[in-house]
Structures are given as structure tokens and as C-alpha cells.
Amino acid sequence: MKVLVAVKRVVDYNVKVRVKPDNSGVDLANVKMSMNPFCEIAVEEAVRLKEKGVASEIVVVSIGPTQAQEQLRTALALGADRAVLVESADELNSLAVAKLLKAVVDKEQPQLVILGKQAIDSDNNQTGQMLAALTGYAQGTFASKVEVNGDKANVTREIDGGLQTVALNLPAIVTTDLRLNEPRYASLPNIMKAKKKPLETLTPDALGVSTASTVKTIKVEAPAARGAGIKVKSVAELVEKLKTEAKVL
């Protein structure tokens, strides 16, 4: 079966971002960018499905600026077969991304679509669910285990009180949680080979999708800073402070 994996180019998870002085957004100039960590897990799961003989082809798709090609090449180096970039310089909301992915799903007709559960920049946690609504497919969100049996996928999900397993009719949408797998690193020969794999570029217009949004960001601020704390010398002093100064015990 064909597996479609969506990946997003985001600020590297180790970077501590700074808000721009004019409050228009966060400063991403000269900041290290990477593949969103949950998307890496999605790519890894697709590659493992291929290694098990469940998946026959992995198509990786990204929606973003021209530079998102770097993240697509990374996915190709990890084992994806070909890549699609839907190029858009604008920062798109989840619904617009889901609509563009729906257009790619219509074109590619995958049996399984794997996305990360959330992007670490917008922290929305929406796109997979929205894509499931638009395609009418079942959704297995926050997956920590995926098993494909014939025309069904059993997905174990991380929920607030523990784990839940659901059976989804294929085609279906799965979003990855951290514990689904441990992504591999790309080897140098594979990085070289990935340069020769096909990468198709499309535009929202070519897909006939409007990316208009009903939500706009008015301003972005730094969170309130916490007052400086103190270091205590002993446990006794700590307990004393918590009782008399902070009054939380």
C-alpha cells in the first residue's frame, strides 16, 4: 500500500526563540531550522512499515517555503521514495494546510496518511484531525503503536488516563506521539542518494485550494517573566520558606 507522510519545517527544538521587538512574531532570521520532531517519527513509522513489507511506496509531502526542500530531502534520505512540495511563502493555518493535503491525498490516493501530532512552533495539534474530517477518513491520533491488518489499522493511542486502542477502516489518518518509535539518522550514502530521488513542486493555485483564513494573529508577546528565585542551603530552610514565605505548605 501507499503511505503519505506530511512533514513540516520548523525552528529546531533546542532553540530558545525570541519575540521580535515590534511584537509581530518571533525572530526566525538566522535560526536553525529542522524537521518537526513528531514528523521525524511519522517518517520513521512509514519506513518501518515499508521494511515490514506492509507499505510499498512512501510519498513525503511538505507545505511551506522553498527551503522546506531541505526537510523533504532529509525524509528521502531516511527512506521515503519521492517528495512533493506545495510551495507557499505565507504562514498557513492548519485548516489551509489540511485542505492542501486533502488535494494531495486526492491525487495520490494513499491507504495511510501519517502526520505528527503537533508542530512545535504553532503547537496547534489540528492538521491531522482536520485532514481526516475533509477526507472523511477515520483518525488515530497520538499513536504509540500502529498495526496494519488487511483493510484495518489497529492504533494504540496515548490518552489522558493511559492507553486506548481503536480499529480504523483504511484508508485512515494517523498522527504520531513521541513514543511511537525512535527515529533513525540518515547515513551519508543515503543523503547522497536522496539528492537523486524525485521532488515535485506544486502551488496552492495549481491544486485549486484557497488558503484564506478566519483567524489572524494580532500580536506576539514574550510571556511574563518569573521573579528571580533564591537558592536555599538546606532542606530545613526550604521547608521553613515554603511554610512562612510562600505559604504553600
Partner 1 sequence: MTILVIAENTNSALAPATLNTVAAAQKIGGDIHVLVAGQGVGAVAEAAAKIAGVAKVLVADNAAFAHQLPENVAPLVAELGKSYSHVLAAATSNGKNILPRVAAQLDVDQISEIVSVESPDTFKRPIYAGNAIATVQSSAAVKVITVRATGFDAVAAEGGSAAIENVSAGGDAGKSSFVGEELAKSDRPELTAAKIVVSGGRGMQNGDNFKHLYTLADKLGAAVGASRAAVDAGFVPNDMQVGQTGKIVAPQLYIAVGISGAIQHLAGMKDSKVIVAINKDEEAPIFQVADYGLVADLFEAVPELEKLV
Minimum CB distance to partner 1, residue 164 (Å): 4
Is the CB of 179 or the CB of 197 nearer to partner 1?
Answer: 179
Encode 12-37: b = buried (16+ Cβ within 10 Å), e = exposed.
eeeeeeeeeeeeeeeeeeeeebbbbb
Q: How far apart are CA 160 and CA 244, in angstroms?
A: 35
Q: Which CB, 76 or 104, lies closer to partner 1?
A: 104
- Binding residue (CB under 8 A) for partner 1 from 57, 69, 82, 124: 124
Tell me whether strands 112-116 and 2-7 are parallel, antiparallel or unpaired: parallel
- 108 is an interface residue for partner 1 by CB under 8 A: no
Angle subtended by helix axes 127-135 and 94-108, to nearest 10: 50
> Which one among 26, 186, 191, 207 touches partner 1, defined by CB under 8 A?
26
The answer to whether 97 touches 129, Cβ cutoff 8 Å, is: no
Give the separation between CA 171 and CA 168, rounded to whole angstroms: 8
**Three cell numbers written together for 35:** 524537521
Residue 103 makes contact with partner 1 by CB under 8 A = no
The cell numbers describing 245, all together, are: 514565605
Q: Which stretch binds partner 1 (CB under 8 A): 71-79, 103-111, 126-134, 201-209?
A: 126-134
Residue among 126 and 190 whose Cβ is closer to partner 1: 126
Does 109 help bind partner 1 (rule: CB under 8 A)?
Answer: no
Which of 68/155 has CB closer to partner 1?
155
Q: With contacts defined by CB under 8 A, name the span among 1-9, 77-85, 137-145, 197-205 that binds partner 1.
A: 137-145
**Could you say which residues in the range 161-220 bind partner 1, by CB under 8 A?**
161-169, 177-179, 213-220
Q: Is the Cβ of residue 35 or residue 130 nearer to partner 1 in the bound state? A: 130
Question: Minimum CB separation from partner 1 for residue 50, in Å?
Answer: 24
Q: Does 33 bind partner 1 (CB under 8 A)?
A: no
Give 167 or 206: the residue with its C-beta nearer to partner 1: 167
Given 21, 89, 109, 221, the residue binding partner 1 (CB under 8 A): 221
Q: Does 69 bind partner 1 (CB under 8 A)?
A: no
Residue 234 binds partner 1, judged by CB under 8 A? yes
Alpha carbon dihedral 14, 66, 46, 50, in 10-degree steps, equals -130
Q: Where are the alpha helices (DSSP H) in 109-195?
A: 127-135, 188-194
Neighbouring residues of 227: CB distance < 8 A, sequence distance ≥ 6? none
Q: Is 149 in the site for partner 1 (CB under 8 A)?
A: no
Residue found by looking up cell 513528531 in the block: 38
Nearer to partner 1, 22 or 123 (CB): 123
Burial of 225 (0-12, 13-18, 19+ CB in 10 A): exposed
